[in-house]
Amino acid sequence: MAELKYLTGFGNEFSSEDPRCPGALPEGQNNPQVCPYNLYAEQLSGSAFTCPRSANKRSWLYRIIPSVRHKPFTVMHHGSLTDNWNEVEPDPNQLRWLPFTIPKVAEKKVDFVMGLNTVCGAGDSRARNGIAIHVYTCNTSMIDRSFYNSDGDFLIVPQQGKIFVTTEFGKMIVEPNEICVIQQGMHFSVEVFGETRGYVLEVYGAHFELPDLGPIGANGLANPRDFLVPVAWYEDYTVAGGYTIISKYQGKLFSALQDHSPFNVVAWHGNYTPYKYNLENFMVINCVAFDHADPSIFTVLTAKSVRPGVAIADFVIFPPRWGIADHTFRPPYYHRNCMSEFMGLIKGHYEAKEGGFLPGGGSLHSIMTPHGPDADCFEKNSKAALKPERVAEGTMAFMFESSFSMAVTRWGMDTCRRLDKDYYRCWEPLRSHFDPHWTPSSQKAKAGPGGCPRAAARE
């Protein structure tokens, strides 16, 4: 497989031509009476025409056949892809899933679309405000089939097996420890190379963007130059039996036939594109004195709500880094949150729960549901010698955090049969260490005036 080329940057005004057709982009205008090579001009809008320029998203595609030429759509059954958040009763418990099962190809061939399973979500795709979290488990490539999502954007997190993604804008290879984003309305197809699994964060009504850095400054976290956008590539062939176009619309799947590939875009320009990012490029910010910073410092991408500082969804990672905080319990603190937290594990062992939370599985801590380190983690790290150490080496955990109160689907609660009913037991060994006769005198000697660790550090 030849190495793919990419454009670099986040949200830039890009332009690209397939090198087989030099000069395919019109000069000086978007929609000439006759396009170069007799192509059709088609605009793909990712925002309202009247959005402020800073938020206006659109690209112009120059294609062999416009995407409007297809047979009528008909309903396509998919039992475990849903936006019905009332299938089962609400459950405020801490929930954890064992690694989601990948079907064996000898038993059933399953491609990316048919392998999508909704775990949880909230909101309304019709009202354009909400979130859904899916897993994909598949073993077969999409052949003469493409998919587009009318409801929102897909942030795809491969966990097992790389995926080869063909889009209207070009091709991307996405490995585990990388992510890609396919924005609303973009046709794509997924090729796999064996048993494949990963996670999908879907947002309705907003696009992902880089988080504001505030006092961090101009640089840090996910830097714009590390995002990669595919270059133009086209195929021009007909399919005698029909090429299947699959649309996700109002939470349902629909399919239509056409006689040609939708990946017939010879050239394009604009700022509304698919893109990928390697998580190893994340520039980690962390505490260098004392205490545990909030996990928002690990935000890669955010989909903002209309409330300042509150996200429809944040994509947060917990990458390898140094832990050097003094006088501090270094693992994640015990927490109750006004946000919902879904966690997944790409590889390795999550620092707060070394056992039970496995690659390819997940957990959901709902709004105001208590969570935090298990008993073993607490006991070990309450007594550990505080010296500089590498944290999460060989590990990549992530979190989809949302302001929505998410409901679990029937598939997530029952059908998948991967719910760990014993999850709560990891906290049962926690015991009281309270000593009513404790005095601060011994700690004052260690910590400095007033028992303040910071005072000791200053001395």
DSSP letter (8 states) at residue 458: H
What is the amino acid identity at position 84?
A: N
**Residue 123 buriedness (CB in 10 A; 0-12 / 13-18 / 19+):** buried
DSSP letter (8 states) at residue 215: G
The answer to the question of whether 437 is labelled as a binding residue is no
Longest dimension (CA), the chain: 87
Buried b (16+ CB within 10 A) or exposed e, 340-368: bbbbbbbeebbbbbeebbbbbbbbbbbbe
Q: CA of 29: how far to CAs of 26, 37, 47, in Å?
A: 6, 15, 20
- Using alpha carbons, select from 277, 320, 276 the residue that is nearest to residue 298: 320
Asked if 327 is an active-site residue, the reply is no
Q: Is 332 helix (H, G, I), strand (E, B) or coil?
A: coil
Supply the DSSP string of 73-129, one letter for each residue. Answer: PEEE--TT----TTSS----S-EEEPPPPPPPTTT----TTTTEEEEEEEEETTTTE
Q: Is 268 helix (H, G, I), strand (E, B) or coil?
A: strand
The answer to the question of whether 199 is labelled as a binding residue is no
The answer to the question of whether 350 is labelled as a binding residue is yes
How is the chain split among helix, strand and coil, in percent rounded to 5?
Answer: 10, 35, 50
The answer to the question of whether 335 is labelled as a binding residue is yes
Supply the DSSP string of 424-448, one letter for each residue. Answer: GGGGTT------TT--SHHHHHHH-
Beta carbons within 10 angstroms of residue 43's beta carbon? 13
Q: Which of 292, 349, 365, 433 is catalytic?
A: 292
Instruction: Give the residue numbers annotated as catalytic, written as ranges.
Output: 292
Positions at the binding site: 335, 341, 350, 371
Instruction: Give the residue numbers of the binding site for homogentisate.
Output: 350, 371
Binding site per annotation, positions for Fe cation? 335, 341, 371
